[in-house]
Amino acid sequence: MYAVASFLTILIVCATSSVTALEDFNSTSDTVYLPIVNNNGETVYVTEDLMRKLEDELETWHWTPWLRTRTEVAENIVREVECITGDSIDSFPEDAFTDDQLRSGAFLLYVLFGIYAFTLLTIVCNDYFIPCVEFICEDLKIPQNVAAATFMSVATSCPEFFVNVISTFLTESDMGVGTIVGSAIFNALGVAAIGGLAAISPITIDRRPVTRDVIIYMFNVVALVIIVWDGRVEWYEALVLGILYITYFIVMFNSVRIFALYDSIIERKNRNNNQHIVTNDNKSSVEGIDNKGFNNSEVVISNIPEKVAVNEKAEEFEKPPKSVWRYPKENSLVYRIWWVYTWPLKLILAFTIPLPARYRKLYPLSFIMCIVWIGVNSYFVSWSMTVIGHTFFIPDSVMGMTFLAFGGCLPEACSIFIMSRRGEGGMGVSNALGANSLAILFALGVPWLIKTLTLVGQGAESSAVYINSAGIGFIVGSLLVAVTALYITLFIGKFQLRKRIGAVLVVLYAIFITFAILVEMGIIVDKGIEMC
Protein backbone atom coordinates (compact mmCIF):
# COMPACT_ATOMS: atom_id res chain seq x y z
CA MET A 1 0.00 0.00 0.00
CA TYR A 2 1.12 3.53 -0.61
CA ALA A 3 2.78 5.27 2.31
CA VAL A 4 1.06 8.59 1.73
CA ALA A 5 -2.40 7.04 1.98
CA SER A 6 -1.39 5.00 5.02
CA PHE A 7 0.27 7.77 6.99
CA LEU A 8 -2.21 10.59 6.43
CA THR A 9 -3.76 9.68 9.81
CA ILE A 10 -0.66 8.52 11.68
CA LEU A 11 0.15 9.76 15.16
CA ILE A 12 3.63 9.75 16.66
CA VAL A 13 3.38 7.92 19.97
CA CYS A 14 5.38 9.19 22.91
CA ALA A 15 3.71 7.03 25.54
CA THR A 16 5.94 5.34 28.11
CA SER A 17 4.52 1.94 27.13
CA SER A 18 6.45 2.13 23.86
CA VAL A 19 9.75 3.26 25.36
CA THR A 20 10.91 -0.24 26.28
CA ALA A 21 10.17 -1.69 22.83
CA LEU A 22 11.78 1.32 21.18
CA GLU A 23 14.95 0.89 23.24
CA ASP A 24 15.10 -2.76 22.17
CA PHE A 25 15.05 -1.77 18.49
CA ASN A 26 17.59 1.03 18.89
CA SER A 27 19.97 -1.06 21.00
CA THR A 28 20.40 -3.68 18.27
CA SER A 29 21.28 -1.26 15.49
CA ASP A 30 22.75 2.14 14.84
CA THR A 31 19.54 3.03 12.98
CA VAL A 32 17.13 5.25 14.91
CA TYR A 33 13.52 4.01 14.92
CA LEU A 34 10.43 6.08 15.70
CA PRO A 35 7.14 4.56 16.92
CA ILE A 36 3.91 5.37 15.06
CA VAL A 37 0.33 4.13 15.15
CA ASN A 38 -1.09 2.88 11.86
CA ASN A 39 -4.70 2.99 10.71
CA ASN A 40 -5.46 -0.24 12.57
CA GLY A 41 -4.31 1.18 15.90
CA GLU A 42 -1.17 -0.95 15.96
CA THR A 43 2.20 0.43 17.01
CA VAL A 44 4.87 0.01 14.34
CA TYR A 45 8.36 1.43 13.96
CA VAL A 46 9.78 3.58 11.18
CA THR A 47 13.36 4.65 10.60
CA GLU A 48 14.12 8.30 11.11
CA ASP A 49 15.14 8.76 7.47
CA LEU A 50 11.97 7.11 6.15
CA MET A 51 9.81 9.16 8.52
CA ARG A 52 11.41 12.38 7.28
CA LYS A 53 10.86 11.30 3.67
CA LEU A 54 7.20 10.51 4.30
CA GLU A 55 6.63 13.82 6.07
CA ASP A 56 8.10 15.68 3.08
CA GLU A 57 5.83 13.76 0.71
CA LEU A 58 2.74 14.84 2.65
CA GLU A 59 3.35 18.40 1.47
CA THR A 60 3.81 17.62 -2.23
CA TRP A 61 2.07 14.31 -2.94
CA HIS A 62 -0.97 15.92 -4.59
CA TRP A 63 1.34 17.62 -7.13
CA THR A 64 3.62 14.65 -7.79
CA PRO A 65 1.64 11.52 -6.85
CA TRP A 66 4.00 9.29 -8.83
CA LEU A 67 6.76 9.99 -6.27
CA ARG A 68 4.92 8.25 -3.44
CA THR A 69 7.00 5.77 -1.49
CA ARG A 70 5.84 2.17 -1.33
CA THR A 71 6.25 0.47 2.05
CA GLU A 72 5.61 -2.85 3.76
CA VAL A 73 5.44 -3.93 7.41
CA ALA A 74 7.53 -6.89 8.57
CA GLU A 75 7.94 -7.74 12.27
CA ASN A 76 6.40 -4.39 13.25
CA ILE A 77 9.04 -2.51 11.29
CA VAL A 78 8.01 -0.37 8.30
CA ARG A 79 10.42 -0.79 5.41
CA GLU A 80 10.57 0.87 2.02
CA VAL A 81 9.82 -1.52 -0.82
CA GLU A 82 12.61 -1.70 -3.34
CA CYS A 83 11.01 -1.53 -6.75
CA ILE A 84 12.45 -4.17 -9.03
CA THR A 85 10.70 -4.25 -12.39
CA GLY A 86 11.21 -6.70 -15.18
CA ASP A 87 12.77 -5.69 -18.47
CA SER A 88 10.42 -5.39 -21.45
CA ILE A 89 12.86 -7.41 -23.53
CA ASP A 90 12.04 -10.47 -21.39
CA SER A 91 8.54 -10.53 -22.93
CA PHE A 92 9.94 -11.23 -26.41
CA PRO A 93 11.75 -14.33 -27.74
CA GLU A 94 15.31 -14.78 -26.55
CA ASP A 95 17.81 -12.76 -28.55
CA ALA A 96 20.50 -14.47 -30.60
CA PHE A 97 23.03 -11.80 -29.58
CA THR A 98 24.54 -10.95 -26.22
CA ASP A 99 24.46 -7.41 -24.83
CA ASP A 100 28.12 -6.92 -25.73
CA GLN A 101 27.49 -8.07 -29.31
CA LEU A 102 24.52 -5.73 -29.61
CA ARG A 103 26.55 -2.75 -28.43
CA SER A 104 29.39 -3.74 -30.77
CA GLY A 105 27.19 -3.32 -33.84
CA ALA A 106 24.61 -6.12 -33.91
CA PHE A 107 21.94 -3.58 -32.97
CA LEU A 108 22.17 -2.25 -36.55
CA LEU A 109 20.36 -5.38 -37.70
CA TYR A 110 17.41 -4.39 -35.54
CA VAL A 111 17.60 -0.82 -36.86
CA LEU A 112 17.40 -2.09 -40.45
CA PHE A 113 14.65 -4.51 -39.47
CA GLY A 114 12.67 -1.69 -37.86
CA ILE A 115 13.06 0.53 -40.94
CA TYR A 116 11.85 -2.29 -43.17
CA ALA A 117 8.90 -2.91 -40.86
CA PHE A 118 7.97 0.79 -41.04
CA THR A 119 8.15 0.53 -44.83
CA LEU A 120 5.76 -2.41 -44.71
CA LEU A 121 3.39 -0.38 -42.53
CA THR A 122 3.44 2.50 -45.01
CA ILE A 123 2.67 0.22 -47.97
CA VAL A 124 -0.15 -1.56 -46.15
CA CYS A 125 -1.77 1.71 -45.05
CA ASN A 126 -1.38 3.70 -48.29
CA ASP A 127 -1.99 0.95 -50.88
CA TYR A 128 -4.52 -1.21 -49.04
CA PHE A 129 -5.95 0.09 -45.78
CA ILE A 130 -6.76 3.71 -46.68
CA PRO A 131 -8.42 2.75 -50.02
CA CYS A 132 -10.57 0.24 -48.10
CA VAL A 133 -11.63 2.94 -45.66
CA GLU A 134 -12.40 5.34 -48.51
CA PHE A 135 -14.60 2.71 -50.17
CA ILE A 136 -16.44 2.25 -46.87
CA CYS A 137 -17.04 6.00 -46.60
CA GLU A 138 -18.11 6.13 -50.24
CA ASP A 139 -20.66 3.34 -49.78
CA LEU A 140 -21.99 4.91 -46.58
CA LYS A 141 -22.09 8.37 -48.23
CA ILE A 142 -20.09 10.00 -45.42
CA PRO A 143 -18.87 13.60 -46.03
CA GLN A 144 -15.15 13.90 -46.66
CA ASN A 145 -14.23 15.99 -43.60
CA VAL A 146 -16.22 13.62 -41.35
CA ALA A 147 -14.58 10.61 -42.98
CA ALA A 148 -11.15 12.15 -42.44
CA ALA A 149 -11.79 12.70 -38.73
CA THR A 150 -13.42 9.30 -38.10
CA PHE A 151 -12.74 6.28 -40.30
CA MET A 152 -9.52 7.63 -41.81
CA SER A 153 -8.29 8.51 -38.34
CA VAL A 154 -9.16 5.03 -37.05
CA ALA A 155 -7.17 3.57 -39.92
CA THR A 156 -4.10 5.67 -39.19
CA SER A 157 -4.43 5.02 -35.42
CA CYS A 158 -4.32 1.24 -35.78
CA PRO A 159 -0.49 1.01 -35.50
CA GLU A 160 -0.54 2.93 -32.20
CA PHE A 161 -3.45 0.79 -31.01
CA PHE A 162 -1.60 -2.48 -31.55
CA VAL A 163 1.60 -1.11 -30.01
CA ASN A 164 -0.36 -0.15 -26.89
CA VAL A 165 -2.03 -3.58 -26.83
CA ILE A 166 1.41 -5.19 -26.83
CA SER A 167 2.82 -2.83 -24.19
CA THR A 168 -0.27 -3.19 -21.96
CA PHE A 169 -0.79 -6.95 -22.06
CA LEU A 170 2.62 -8.36 -23.02
CA THR A 171 5.50 -6.15 -21.91
CA GLU A 172 3.56 -4.03 -19.34
CA SER A 173 5.70 -1.05 -20.28
CA ASP A 174 5.16 2.60 -21.19
CA MET A 175 6.09 2.14 -24.85
CA GLY A 176 2.43 2.37 -25.92
CA VAL A 177 1.83 5.59 -23.99
CA GLY A 178 5.07 7.06 -25.28
CA THR A 179 4.20 6.13 -28.86
CA ILE A 180 0.78 7.77 -28.67
CA VAL A 181 2.14 10.92 -27.00
CA GLY A 182 4.94 11.17 -29.56
CA SER A 183 2.49 10.56 -32.39
CA ALA A 184 0.21 13.25 -30.98
CA ILE A 185 3.03 15.81 -31.01
CA PHE A 186 4.00 14.80 -34.54
CA ASN A 187 0.41 14.85 -35.80
CA ALA A 188 -0.29 18.22 -34.20
CA LEU A 189 2.81 19.97 -35.52
CA GLY A 190 4.86 17.68 -37.78
CA VAL A 191 2.12 16.70 -40.23
CA ALA A 192 1.03 20.31 -40.81
CA ALA A 193 4.71 21.29 -41.11
CA ILE A 194 5.27 18.72 -43.87
CA GLY A 195 2.13 19.94 -45.62
CA GLY A 196 3.35 23.53 -45.52
CA LEU A 197 6.88 22.74 -46.69
CA ALA A 198 5.59 20.52 -49.52
CA ALA A 199 3.03 23.05 -50.75
CA ILE A 200 3.86 24.54 -54.15
CA SER A 201 1.37 27.35 -53.55
CA PRO A 202 -0.61 28.36 -50.43
CA ILE A 203 -3.26 25.78 -49.51
CA THR A 204 -6.41 27.16 -47.89
CA ILE A 205 -7.74 25.21 -44.90
CA ASP A 206 -11.40 25.26 -43.89
CA ARG A 207 -11.26 26.71 -40.39
CA ARG A 208 -14.52 25.09 -39.28
CA PRO A 209 -13.39 21.43 -39.18
CA VAL A 210 -9.98 22.46 -37.83
CA THR A 211 -11.60 24.47 -35.03
CA ARG A 212 -13.94 21.57 -34.28
CA ASP A 213 -11.10 19.05 -34.12
CA VAL A 214 -8.90 21.33 -31.99
CA ILE A 215 -11.66 21.86 -29.41
CA ILE A 216 -12.47 18.14 -29.22
CA TYR A 217 -8.80 17.23 -29.00
CA MET A 218 -8.14 19.70 -26.18
CA PHE A 219 -11.09 18.29 -24.24
CA ASN A 220 -9.72 14.75 -24.67
CA VAL A 221 -6.24 15.81 -23.56
CA VAL A 222 -7.64 17.39 -20.38
CA ALA A 223 -9.48 14.14 -19.63
CA LEU A 224 -6.29 12.14 -20.20
CA VAL A 225 -4.23 14.40 -17.93
CA ILE A 226 -6.74 13.93 -15.11
CA ILE A 227 -6.73 10.15 -15.60
CA VAL A 228 -2.96 9.57 -15.72
CA TRP A 229 -1.91 12.25 -13.22
CA ASP A 230 -1.59 9.77 -10.32
CA GLY A 231 0.32 7.24 -12.43
CA ARG A 232 -2.45 4.63 -12.50
CA VAL A 233 -5.57 3.99 -14.57
CA GLU A 234 -8.61 2.39 -12.92
CA TRP A 235 -11.38 0.59 -14.82
CA TYR A 236 -13.87 3.44 -14.39
CA GLU A 237 -11.32 5.92 -15.75
CA ALA A 238 -10.76 3.74 -18.82
CA LEU A 239 -14.54 3.52 -19.17
CA VAL A 240 -14.69 7.32 -19.32
CA LEU A 241 -12.38 7.22 -22.35
CA GLY A 242 -14.68 4.62 -23.93
CA ILE A 243 -17.72 6.86 -23.40
CA LEU A 244 -15.85 9.82 -24.89
CA TYR A 245 -14.95 7.60 -27.86
CA ILE A 246 -18.63 6.99 -28.60
CA THR A 247 -19.42 10.67 -28.02
CA TYR A 248 -16.71 11.63 -30.50
CA PHE A 249 -18.41 9.71 -33.30
CA ILE A 250 -21.80 11.19 -32.41
CA VAL A 251 -20.37 14.70 -32.70
CA MET A 252 -18.58 13.89 -35.95
CA PHE A 253 -21.66 12.49 -37.65
CA ASN A 254 -23.64 15.58 -36.65
CA SER A 255 -20.99 17.95 -37.96
CA VAL A 256 -23.19 18.98 -40.88
CA ARG A 257 -25.87 20.24 -38.50
CA ILE A 258 -23.27 21.96 -36.32
CA PHE A 259 -21.75 23.69 -39.34
CA ALA A 260 -25.22 24.69 -40.56
CA LEU A 261 -25.91 26.28 -37.18
CA TYR A 262 -22.56 28.06 -37.34
CA ASP A 263 -23.30 29.34 -40.87
CA SER A 264 -26.75 30.56 -39.84
CA ILE A 265 -25.26 32.54 -36.95
CA ILE A 266 -22.65 34.12 -39.24
CA GLU A 267 -25.32 34.79 -41.87
CA ARG A 268 -27.58 36.49 -39.33
CA LYS A 269 -24.66 38.59 -38.12
CA ASN A 270 -23.78 39.64 -41.68
CA ARG A 271 -27.41 40.47 -42.42
CA ASN A 272 -27.59 42.71 -39.36
CA ASN A 273 -24.40 44.45 -40.41
CA ASN A 274 -25.72 45.01 -43.95
CA GLN A 275 -28.94 46.51 -42.64
CA HIS A 276 -26.90 49.26 -40.95
CA ILE A 277 -25.15 50.23 -44.19
CA VAL A 278 -26.78 53.45 -45.28
CA THR A 279 -25.79 55.65 -48.17
CA ASN A 280 -26.83 59.22 -48.73
CA ASP A 281 -28.08 58.61 -52.28
CA ASN A 282 -30.05 55.38 -51.95
CA LYS A 283 -30.82 54.64 -48.29
CA SER A 284 -33.94 52.51 -48.84
CA SER A 285 -32.38 50.17 -51.41
CA VAL A 286 -29.26 49.46 -49.34
CA GLU A 287 -31.00 48.90 -45.99
CA GLY A 288 -32.98 45.93 -47.30
CA ILE A 289 -30.10 43.97 -48.79
CA ASP A 290 -30.29 40.26 -47.98
CA ASN A 291 -27.08 38.36 -48.57
CA LYS A 292 -28.62 34.93 -48.10
CA GLY A 293 -28.17 34.00 -51.72
CA PHE A 294 -24.55 35.11 -51.66
CA ASN A 295 -23.80 32.94 -48.61
CA ASN A 296 -25.42 29.90 -50.19
CA SER A 297 -23.32 30.38 -53.30
CA GLU A 298 -20.21 30.63 -51.16
CA VAL A 299 -21.02 27.35 -49.43
CA VAL A 300 -21.54 25.54 -52.72
CA ILE A 301 -18.28 26.87 -54.14
CA SER A 302 -16.34 25.91 -51.01
CA ASN A 303 -17.51 22.32 -51.42
CA ILE A 304 -16.27 22.01 -54.99
CA PRO A 305 -12.62 21.21 -54.11
CA GLU A 306 -13.76 18.43 -51.78
CA LYS A 307 -15.91 16.86 -54.51
CA VAL A 308 -13.14 17.22 -57.06
CA ALA A 309 -10.68 15.62 -54.65
CA VAL A 310 -13.03 12.71 -54.03
CA ASN A 311 -13.60 12.17 -57.75
CA GLU A 312 -9.87 12.33 -58.45
CA LYS A 313 -9.20 9.74 -55.74
CA ALA A 314 -11.95 7.51 -57.08
CA GLU A 315 -10.48 7.71 -60.57
CA GLU A 316 -7.03 7.01 -59.13
CA PHE A 317 -8.28 3.85 -57.41
CA GLU A 318 -10.06 2.72 -60.57
CA LYS A 319 -6.83 2.82 -62.60
CA PRO A 320 -5.36 -0.64 -63.16
CA PRO A 321 -2.50 -1.11 -60.67
CA LYS A 322 1.01 -1.73 -61.89
CA SER A 323 2.05 -5.36 -61.89
CA VAL A 324 4.44 -6.40 -59.15
CA TRP A 325 6.32 -8.47 -61.74
CA ARG A 326 7.01 -5.59 -64.13
CA TYR A 327 10.35 -3.84 -63.66
CA PRO A 328 9.97 -0.05 -64.23
CA LYS A 329 12.70 0.50 -66.82
CA GLU A 330 11.28 3.83 -67.98
CA ASN A 331 11.32 5.41 -64.51
CA SER A 332 14.10 7.28 -62.71
CA LEU A 333 16.97 5.57 -60.91
CA VAL A 334 15.59 6.53 -57.50
CA TYR A 335 12.22 5.00 -58.33
CA ARG A 336 13.87 1.80 -59.57
CA ILE A 337 15.90 1.51 -56.36
CA TRP A 338 12.70 2.00 -54.37
CA TRP A 339 10.97 -0.67 -56.48
CA VAL A 340 13.73 -3.20 -55.75
CA TYR A 341 13.73 -2.27 -52.05
CA THR A 342 9.95 -2.72 -51.64
CA TRP A 343 9.48 -5.61 -54.08
CA PRO A 344 9.68 -8.44 -51.46
CA LEU A 345 7.10 -6.66 -49.30
CA LYS A 346 4.73 -6.00 -52.19
CA LEU A 347 5.08 -9.60 -53.34
CA ILE A 348 4.05 -10.95 -49.93
CA LEU A 349 1.16 -8.49 -49.67
CA ALA A 350 -0.01 -9.33 -53.20
CA PHE A 351 -0.53 -12.96 -52.15
CA THR A 352 -2.19 -12.18 -48.80
CA ILE A 353 -4.37 -9.08 -49.33
CA PRO A 354 -6.75 -8.53 -52.26
CA LEU A 355 -5.80 -5.21 -53.83
CA PRO A 356 -8.82 -2.87 -53.39
CA ALA A 357 -8.08 -1.02 -56.64
CA ARG A 358 -8.45 -4.28 -58.58
CA TYR A 359 -10.95 -6.25 -56.47
CA ARG A 360 -13.27 -3.58 -55.14
CA LYS A 361 -16.00 -5.99 -54.03
CA LEU A 362 -13.50 -7.79 -51.80
CA TYR A 363 -12.53 -4.68 -49.83
CA PRO A 364 -14.14 -6.03 -46.58
CA LEU A 365 -11.71 -8.97 -46.75
CA SER A 366 -8.87 -6.60 -47.60
CA PHE A 367 -9.84 -4.46 -44.60
CA ILE A 368 -9.61 -7.44 -42.22
CA MET A 369 -6.30 -8.65 -43.66
CA CYS A 370 -4.86 -5.14 -43.31
CA ILE A 371 -5.70 -5.15 -39.60
CA VAL A 372 -4.00 -8.54 -39.23
CA TRP A 373 -0.87 -7.31 -41.01
CA ILE A 374 -0.74 -4.08 -38.98
CA GLY A 375 -1.04 -6.08 -35.76
CA VAL A 376 1.73 -8.52 -36.72
CA ASN A 377 3.93 -5.70 -37.95
CA SER A 378 3.41 -3.75 -34.71
CA TYR A 379 4.68 -6.74 -32.74
CA PHE A 380 7.93 -6.92 -34.71
CA VAL A 381 8.37 -3.14 -34.58
CA SER A 382 7.90 -3.17 -30.80
CA TRP A 383 10.38 -6.03 -30.55
CA SER A 384 13.08 -4.25 -32.54
CA MET A 385 12.59 -0.94 -30.71
CA THR A 386 12.69 -2.71 -27.33
CA VAL A 387 16.01 -4.37 -28.20
CA ILE A 388 17.52 -1.06 -29.35
CA GLY A 389 16.32 0.72 -26.22
CA HIS A 390 17.62 -2.09 -24.00
CA THR A 391 21.01 -1.96 -25.71
CA PHE A 392 21.55 1.74 -25.00
CA PHE A 393 19.54 1.97 -21.74
CA ILE A 394 16.86 4.15 -23.34
CA PRO A 395 13.45 4.02 -21.56
CA ASP A 396 10.61 2.36 -23.45
CA SER A 397 8.56 5.55 -23.32
CA VAL A 398 11.35 7.55 -25.01
CA MET A 399 11.69 4.92 -27.76
CA GLY A 400 7.94 5.10 -28.19
CA MET A 401 7.65 8.88 -28.48
CA THR A 402 10.56 9.14 -30.95
CA PHE A 403 11.28 6.21 -33.28
CA LEU A 404 7.99 4.34 -32.90
CA ALA A 405 5.92 7.53 -33.11
CA PHE A 406 7.70 8.72 -36.23
CA GLY A 407 7.43 5.31 -37.88
CA GLY A 408 3.76 5.02 -36.98
CA CYS A 409 3.06 8.46 -38.44
CA LEU A 410 4.69 7.68 -41.80
CA PRO A 411 1.29 7.04 -43.48
CA GLU A 412 0.04 10.50 -42.44
CA ALA A 413 3.34 12.12 -43.43
CA CYS A 414 3.41 10.48 -46.87
CA SER A 415 -0.27 11.19 -47.42
CA ILE A 416 -0.12 14.92 -46.65
CA PHE A 417 3.11 15.30 -48.65
CA ILE A 418 1.48 13.84 -51.77
CA MET A 419 -1.76 15.77 -51.23
CA SER A 420 0.08 19.05 -50.63
CA ARG A 421 2.05 18.67 -53.85
CA ARG A 422 -1.32 18.39 -55.58
CA GLY A 423 -2.70 21.39 -53.68
CA GLU A 424 -5.10 19.26 -51.58
CA GLY A 425 -3.33 19.11 -48.20
CA GLY A 426 -6.01 20.89 -46.19
CA MET A 427 -7.83 17.73 -45.12
CA GLY A 428 -4.56 16.20 -43.91
CA VAL A 429 -4.59 18.52 -40.90
CA SER A 430 -8.11 17.43 -39.96
CA ASN A 431 -7.10 13.80 -40.42
CA ALA A 432 -4.07 14.26 -38.15
CA LEU A 433 -6.04 15.97 -35.37
CA GLY A 434 -8.75 13.33 -35.61
CA ALA A 435 -6.06 10.66 -35.35
CA ASN A 436 -4.81 12.34 -32.17
CA SER A 437 -8.24 12.22 -30.54
CA LEU A 438 -8.78 8.60 -31.51
CA ALA A 439 -5.29 7.67 -30.35
CA ILE A 440 -6.28 8.85 -26.88
CA LEU A 441 -9.80 7.43 -26.83
CA PHE A 442 -9.32 4.28 -28.93
CA ALA A 443 -5.65 3.28 -28.88
CA LEU A 444 -5.24 4.03 -25.16
CA GLY A 445 -8.75 3.67 -23.78
CA VAL A 446 -9.77 0.31 -25.27
CA PRO A 447 -6.68 -1.72 -24.18
CA TRP A 448 -6.77 -0.10 -20.74
CA LEU A 449 -10.46 -0.88 -20.33
CA ILE A 450 -10.02 -4.52 -21.34
CA LYS A 451 -6.98 -4.97 -19.08
CA THR A 452 -8.58 -3.38 -16.00
CA LEU A 453 -11.87 -5.27 -16.43
CA THR A 454 -9.89 -8.50 -16.83
CA LEU A 455 -8.07 -7.82 -13.56
CA VAL A 456 -11.37 -7.04 -11.82
CA GLY A 457 -12.83 -10.30 -13.11
CA GLN A 458 -9.82 -12.23 -11.84
CA GLY A 459 -10.23 -10.71 -8.38
CA ALA A 460 -6.76 -9.17 -8.44
CA GLU A 461 -5.67 -7.10 -5.45
CA SER A 462 -5.12 -4.12 -7.76
CA SER A 463 -7.05 -3.73 -11.00
CA ALA A 464 -5.19 -0.62 -12.12
CA VAL A 465 -2.84 -0.22 -15.07
CA TYR A 466 0.31 1.46 -13.78
CA ILE A 467 2.28 4.05 -15.73
CA ASN A 468 5.94 4.13 -14.72
CA SER A 469 6.65 7.44 -16.45
CA ALA A 470 7.34 10.06 -13.80
CA GLY A 471 6.49 13.08 -15.96
CA ILE A 472 3.59 11.68 -17.98
CA GLY A 473 1.24 14.33 -16.58
CA PHE A 474 3.49 17.16 -17.73
CA ILE A 475 4.13 15.55 -21.12
CA VAL A 476 0.44 14.96 -21.85
CA GLY A 477 -0.35 18.45 -20.61
CA SER A 478 2.17 19.86 -23.07
CA LEU A 479 -0.07 18.52 -25.86
CA LEU A 480 -2.52 21.30 -24.99
CA VAL A 481 0.21 23.85 -25.60
CA ALA A 482 1.22 22.10 -28.83
CA VAL A 483 -2.26 22.09 -30.38
CA THR A 484 -2.81 25.69 -29.21
CA ALA A 485 0.44 26.67 -30.90
CA LEU A 486 -0.77 24.95 -34.09
CA TYR A 487 -4.07 26.81 -34.10
CA ILE A 488 -2.47 30.19 -33.36
CA THR A 489 0.07 29.62 -36.13
CA LEU A 490 -2.67 28.73 -38.62
CA PHE A 491 -4.75 31.70 -37.46
CA ILE A 492 -1.87 34.12 -37.96
CA GLY A 493 -1.25 32.56 -41.36
CA LYS A 494 -4.94 33.08 -42.26
CA PHE A 495 -5.50 29.30 -42.31
CA GLN A 496 -3.21 28.74 -45.25
CA LEU A 497 -0.46 26.12 -45.45
CA ARG A 498 2.69 27.61 -46.94
CA LYS A 499 6.43 27.08 -46.60
CA ARG A 500 6.87 29.79 -43.98
CA ILE A 501 4.17 28.25 -41.79
CA GLY A 502 5.76 24.84 -42.28
CA ALA A 503 9.15 26.13 -41.11
CA VAL A 504 7.62 27.64 -37.95
CA LEU A 505 5.84 24.37 -37.16
CA VAL A 506 9.09 22.39 -37.62
CA VAL A 507 10.78 24.57 -34.98
CA LEU A 508 7.81 24.16 -32.62
CA TYR A 509 7.86 20.38 -33.10
CA ALA A 510 11.58 20.23 -32.27
CA ILE A 511 10.98 22.25 -29.09
CA PHE A 512 8.09 20.12 -27.86
CA ILE A 513 9.68 16.73 -28.58
CA THR A 514 12.89 17.86 -26.88
CA PHE A 515 10.92 18.93 -23.82
CA ALA A 516 9.11 15.58 -23.70
CA ILE A 517 12.37 13.61 -23.92
CA LEU A 518 14.06 15.71 -21.21
CA VAL A 519 11.08 15.18 -18.91
CA GLU A 520 10.99 11.46 -19.56
CA MET A 521 14.73 11.04 -19.04
CA GLY A 522 14.39 12.65 -15.60
CA ILE A 523 16.43 15.73 -16.49
CA ILE A 524 13.56 18.19 -15.88
CA VAL A 525 11.27 16.12 -13.63
CA ASP A 526 12.59 13.69 -11.02
CA LYS A 527 11.89 10.15 -12.18
CA GLY A 528 11.06 9.13 -8.62
CA ILE A 529 10.05 5.63 -7.58
CA GLU A 530 8.71 3.37 -10.30
CA MET A 531 5.22 1.97 -9.85
CA CYS A 532 5.92 -1.74 -9.51
How confident is the model over 199-235, as pLDDT tens digits? 888 888 888 888 888 888 899 888 988 888 877 888 8
* 288 C-beta neighbours (distance < 10 Å), count: 8
The pLDDT score that the predictor gives to residue 470 is 63
Which residues have C-beta within 8 Å of that of residue 293, sequence separation ≥ 6? none
Contact 6, 39 (CB under 8 A): yes
The pLDDT score that the predictor gives to residue 161 is 80
The pLDDT score that the predictor gives to residue 495 is 86
The pLDDT score that the predictor gives to residue 440 is 85
Distances in Å between the Cα of 242 and the Cα atoms of 49, 218, 223 are: 43, 17, 12
How far is the C-alpha of 94 from the C-alpha of 489, rounded, in Å? 48
Tell me which residue of 98, 157, 84, 120 sits closest to 373, measured CA to CA: 120
How far is the C-alpha of 402 from the C-alpha of 427, rounded, in Å? 25
The pLDDT score that the predictor gives to residue 170 is 74
Which amino acid would we find at residue 189?
Answer: L
Contact 417, 430 (CB under 8 A): no
The pLDDT score that the predictor gives to residue 12 is 37
- Three-class DSSP category at 347: helix
Please give the distance of CA 347 from its chain centroid, rounded to a whole number. Answer: 31
The pLDDT score that the predictor gives to residue 531 is 45
The pLDDT score that the predictor gives to residue 239 is 92
Taking domain 101-115+143-254+380-520, whether its CATH number is 3.40.190.80 is answered by: no
The pLDDT score that the predictor gives to residue 243 is 92
The pLDDT score that the predictor gives to residue 240 is 92
Tell me which residue of 192, 187, 202 sits closest to 505, measured CA to CA: 192
The pLDDT score that the predictor gives to residue 207 is 81
DSSP character at residue 186: I
pLDDT under 50: residue ranges of the chain: 1-23, 62-63, 66, 84-85, 278-318, 320, 528-532
Span(s) in the chain for CATH 1.20.1420.30:
101-115+143-254+380-520
